[in-house]
Amino acid sequence: MYIDVKAAEFDWRGAYKLFLGFINPRPIALVSSVSPDGARNLAPFSFYNMVSANPPVVMFCPSIRRDGSPKHTLANVQATREFVVATVSDALAGRMVKTAAELPAGQSEFEYAGLTPLPAVRVKAALVKEAPVNLECTLRDIVSLGDQPGGGRVVLGDVAAVHIADEILTPRRDAIDPCKLRTVGRLGGQYYCTVTDPYELHIPKV
């Protein structure tokens, strides 16, 4: 198969499905935000990663809806300049998927999905009590990658505080045990995967 992205007949929706099928597994950011009037929002994003260690910066990418409107998360972050990223473990997967439902503005995905909001320390957005890790973030920048449906926004957040469940730490408490964390990754279509059989590879010393 060959796809000419620059061709006039390029089908971005068809190509998008293929991209999701091979750019994976993708970590999932369960992003908590709050509107200026105090309404909580919670939504999953699989275009997510850490992009800087010093300072610690994470990014997630909400896309423009088919009707051209921004997602509630993006609107909230633009208005309040803060958010929380919760890590999705396999114990959280079923409830995470529920937060992807298109609820009316102002209706809380926390309540809909059966998740518990907890007060954060440095931001107004809520932590997810059931998540093994929560990152409190303040907005660094938003990069626009297109205004048409399917276009993305790269939301860059400075990590201001980190909450880690003690039970997922290694005995020395200096690292995360992946066998205890059991993160969930996003694949193509409706497929997900769980990190249940991690293994080590060592970079050669030259």
> What integer pLDDT is reported at residue 106 of this predicted model?
75
93 within some domain: yes
Look at residue 69 in the predicted model and tell me its pLDDT: 73
pLDDT for 139-148, tens place per residue?
999 999 988 8
Chain centroid to Cα 71, Å, comes to 13
Indicate which CATH number applies to the domain containing 176.
Answer: 2.30.110.10
202 domain-assigned = no
Given a contact cutoff of 8 angstroms between Cβ atoms, the answer to whether 205 and 199 are in contact is no
Place of tokens 């051209």: 68
pLDDT tens for the chain, residues 1 to 206: 999 999 988 898 899 999 999 999 999 999 999 999 999 999 999 999 999 999 999 999 998 877 767 789 999 999 999 999 999 999 999 999 999 998 887 789 999 999 999 999 999 999 999 999 999 999 999 999 988 888 889 999 999 999 999 999 999 999 999 999 999 999 999 999 999 888 999 999 99
Matching residue, tokens 């066998």:
179
Number of domains in the chain: 1
In a domain, 16, yes or no: no
pLDDT at 12: 87
Q: Which structural domain range is residue 146 located in? A: 26-194
Residue 5 within any structural domain of the chain: no
CA gap 127, 68 in Å, rounded: 29
- The verdict on residue 136 lying in a domain is yes
200, part of any domain: no
